[in-house]
Amino acid sequence: MEKISQLMDGEFDEHEARRQIRRLELDVSLVQAWATYHLIRDVLRHETGASSDLAGRLGQRLEHEPTVVAPHTRLPSRLARYSLPLAATVAGVTVVGWLAFTSQSHVDTVRPMAKNNPPAAMREALRPVLPVAALAGSQMDDYLRAHQEFSPTSAMQGVASYVRTVSNEDWDPSR
C-alpha cells in the first residue's frame, strides 16, 4: 500500500513506476486503493464536496487501514475536518455557511459553458466525404487498435470497443 502512495506522489523513477503499475493491474485491492486515494485527494484538493455517505465510507476505510495514507500526507486529520461538517449538513443547517462557500466557488469555476466553441460555419463544413480506404487503407485498424489502448472511452467499453476494428462496413475491400 505504501508503494501505491509513493507512486501517486511521483516518487519513483520510470522503471519502478512501470513495475508498480503492473503490480497494480494484477491486484484488485491495490486498484481499489489507487482509486480511493485519488478520490480522497480530489475531494481534498478541489473541495468539491462529497456525499456524507462517501465521506463516511472513506472515514471507515481509513479507520480500518490506518497505514494507507500515513506515509506522506496528513490525510486522516484533514479528512476528519471535512467529514464532520459533511455529517452535520445532513443533520441540519449548522454548516450552511461552509457549504455555501464551497458549492458557490465550485459553481463559479465550472459554470461558464461553451466558452470556446468552434465557429458554427467551421463545424458545418466538416462533413466526412472520403471512404476510409482512400486515406489509409488497411493500416487504419492497426492505428485504431493502438489508439484504443489509451482511450478512456474504450476502457469503459471493454471488449466491445474492438467492434470498430472488425466492423464490416467502410473497410478496404482489398484486405
Partner 1 sequence: MTRVPVRLLPSLVLLHLWVGAAFAETLQETEALVWLQKIANAARQLNYAGTFVYQHGDHVESSRITHFVDRAGECEKLETLDGPKREIIRTDDEILTLDGEHHVVKRERRTRRNSFPALLPDQLSHLTEHYQLRKGDQERIAGYDAQALVLEPRDGFRYGHKLWADVNTGLLLKARMLDERGHVVEQSVFTQLSIGSGVTRPSFGPLPPEWRREQQGPDSAAPADTGWIVKDQPAGFRKIIEMRRLKAGTQTPVAHLVYSDGLAAVSVFIEPLPTTRKVQEGLTRQGAVNIYTRPLPDQLVTVLGEAPAVTVMQMANSVTPRGQ
In terms of Cβ atoms closer than 10 Å to its own Cβ (0-12, 13-18, 19+), residue 140 is: middle
Contact between 78 and partner 1 by CB under 8 A: the answer reads: no
Question: Applying CB under 8 A, which part among 64-72, 74-82, 134-142 lies near partner 1?
Answer: 134-142
The residue from 13, 15, 28, 74 that contacts partner 1 (CB under 8 A) is 28
Pairwise CA distance, residues 114 & 138, whole Å: 37
Query: CB of 39: closest distance to partner 1 in angstroms?
Result: 7
Amino acid, single-letter form, for residue 151: S
24 backbone dihedrals φ, ψ, rounded to 5°: -55, -40
In 3D, which of 41, 38, 42 has the Cα closest to residue 74? 41
Question: Applying CB under 8 A, which part among 23-31, 61-69, 74-82 lies near partner 1?
Answer: 23-31
Report 114-133 residues binding partner 1 (CB under 8 A).
114-118, 122-123, 126, 128-132
CB contact set of 164 (below 8 Å; sequence gap of 6+): 144, 148
Contact between 24 and partner 1 by CB under 8 A: the answer reads: yes
Contact between 103 and partner 1 by CB under 8 A: the answer reads: yes
Contact between 70 and partner 1 by CB under 8 A: the answer reads: no
